[in-house]
Amino acid sequence: MEKLTSCPLCGEINFIPFLQSNDFFLTQEEYTIVSCSSCGMKFVNPRPEPGEIGKYYESPEYVSHDTGKKNSLNFLYKRLRKISIERKYNLVKKHARGKKLLDVGCGTGEFLFFCEKKGFKVTGIEPGEKPRSFAQLEYKLNVEAEGYLDQMVPQQFDVITMWHVLEHIHPLHERIDIILDIMKHDGTLIIAVPNCDSWDARYYGKFWAAYDLPRHLYHFSQETMKTLAQKHKLIIDEIIPMKLDAFYISLLSEKYSRGKQNFFRAFVNGVRSNSFANKSNNNYSSLIYVMKRGKWLQ
Ligand SMILES: [Zn+2]
């Protein structure tokens, strides 16, 4: 285990306990989320070392990496994924000044495959060997392991996307620096992360599925994402809700808190979360941040 002595976002050294919760998905181990007294960043501390985090992804049920298993939750997940892929593509198309796209943490590659069919020149990075091989074999995509990021030609990508990936990355600032090195000066960085200020986060508390401990190392809010953007001299151009996530996260959270899936309750709470967010500062279950370098915003 790695015990952080300073905030991974702002570097200050004072933080207070925020929440204790468990790895409800796999190991049942207990973890503590702390909140930075200076910037408000919430992060798991202590956390597994980079070298030991792999075992926390090893369940065949980890749906974002699952390539075959059939159950109702996985079926629903795949239906929602199909809808969300098109929305993601439309966002990329709206902001891209060119056709070169990198998806970091591309999983099994469905989003990239869709974009490729629409005329983008696509590259993926995926640390998991199983999903990476699937993307290469099934969709014939150019997908590389994580270490390849360091070796890429600088300033080559028009758009770089990270869909629910940033919260998994140990070297937070270092990784964004590398990503900005390979992004063109007028490029766009699109980052989607769960929002710990959402209604579903507050309602489910320690059972909120998007805490996903210890796989999610950070729990971002709009405020901490703004701090992150500022630290990397980026401007947030647009913040867009992922309304379907409220339903999916509520469904998983129902399972964690009550021991079984309850589609009706999950649906009701998904609606409640989205209507709260609509009235309350855009605090949807998950948010997409479209970031650019300041002078290219116009
Ligand atoms: Zn901080």
Closest listed residue to residue 106, CA positions, set 150, 82, 136, 62: 136
Q: How far apart are CA 157 and CA 151, in angstroms?
A: 14
Closest of 103, 226, 107 to residue 158, by C-alpha: 103
- Tell me, what's the pLDDT at 79? 78
Question: Could you tell me the distance, in angstroms and rounded to a whole number, from the CA of residue 9 to the centre of ligand 1?
Answer: 5
Q: How far is the CA of 234 from the centre of ligand 1 (A)?
A: 18
Distance between Cα 224 and ligand 1 center (Å): 8
Element at 193 (helix H, strand E): strand 183-194
Residues in a beta bridge with 212? none
CA of 232 to the centre of ligand 1 (A): 15
pLDDT at 60: 63
* Spacing, Cα 43 to ligand 1 middle (Å): 10
- Asked if 107 contacts 64 with a C-beta cutoff of 8 angstroms, the reply is yes
pTM, full prediction: 0.93
**Number of C-alpha atoms within 13 angstroms, CB side, residue 54?**
8
**Which residues on adjacent β-strands are paired with residue 68?**
none
Q: Are strands 286-293 and 121-125 parallel, antiparallel or unpaired?
A: unpaired
Q: At what angle do helices 110-117 and 129-139 cross, to 10 degrees?
A: 30
| Structure tokens that stand for 123 in this block | 């590259």
pLDDT of residue 54: 86
Q: What is the pLDDT of residue 179?
A: 98
Tokens of 96: 């891209």
Q: How far apart are CA 1 and CA 21, in angstroms?
A: 16
Residue 84 is predicted with a pLDDT of 87
| 55-296 under CATH 3.40.50.150, yes or no | yes
What residues pack around ion ligand 1 (CB closer than 5 A)?
7, 9-10, 12, 36, 38-39, 41
Predicted confidence at residue 61, as pLDDT, reads 57
Integer Cα distance of 223 and 281 in angstroms: 11
Residuewise pLDDT in 10s, the chain (298 residues): 999 999 999 999 999 999 999 999 999 999 999 999 999 999 999 999 998 998 888 766 555 555 555 677 677 777 778 888 999 999 999 999 999 999 999 999 999 999 999 999 999 999 999 999 999 999 999 999 999 999 999 999 999 999 999 999 999 999 999 999 999 999 999 999 999 999 999 999 999 999 999 999 999 999 999 999 999 999 999 999 999 899 989 999 999 999 988 889 999 999 999 999 999 899 999 999 999 998 765 4
The CA 222 to ligand 1 mean position distance, Å, reads 14
CA of 226 to the centre of ligand 1 (A): 12
Predicted local confidence at residue 64, as pLDDT: 54
DSSP β-ladder status, 157-163 and 100-104: parallel
- What's the confidence (pLDDT) of residue 153? 97
Indicate the angle between helix axes 263-279 and 243-258, nearest 10 degrees. 130
The three-state secondary structure class of 279 is: helix
Residue boundaries of the structural domains of the chain: 55-296
Instruction: Provide Rg for the chain, Cα atoms.
Output: 18
